[in-house]
Amino acid sequence: MIRHIVFFKFKPEIAEEQKNKLVEDLKTLKKKIPLIQRLEVGFDIGKKPNSYDMALNTDFNTREDVEKYSIHPDHVTVVVFIKQICEDVCKIDYEVND
């Protein structure tokens, strides 16, 4: 299994409704993209200077599934919105051996 984690840092001027829209848009990807085995998203509660504002944690069966997800039209649409409201985004993909 491949775990795909993304951290988001919002632009300072972004309103709460836009942040919440991103959460909902990400959650709907689970229904639209069957390659996603598990998806959770949440806002940071630590509020430390080195914290990001939000995280997305998803699981896929294979690396190939992650690649297909990355170019899926519904994912690409969300990425366009992310680029509008985030000043920084970082991600990691790693194998999970449970």
- AA identity, residue 46: G
> What confidence score (pLDDT) does residue 7 get?
98
Residue 98 pLDDT more than 90? no
- Residue 55: pLDDT above 80? yes
pLDDT in tens, 13-54: 999 999 999 999 999 999 999 999 999 999 999 989 999 999
Over residues 69-84, the pLDDT tens digits come to 999 999 999 999 999 9
What CATH number corresponds to the domain at position 38? 3.30.70.100
Q: State the total domains in the chain.
A: 1
Domain hosting 16: range is 2-95
With a cut of 90, say whether residue 68 has pLDDT above it. Answer: yes
Q: Rounded distance, CA 20 to CA 16, Å?
A: 6
Strand locations in the chain (E): 2-10, 36-43, 54-60, 86-95
Q: Inter-axis angle of helices 73-85 and 63-71, to 10 degrees? A: 70
Q: What is the pLDDT of residue 60?
A: 98
**DSSP-derived secondary structure letter, 45:** S
Question: According to the model, what pLDDT value does residue 47 have?
Answer: 87
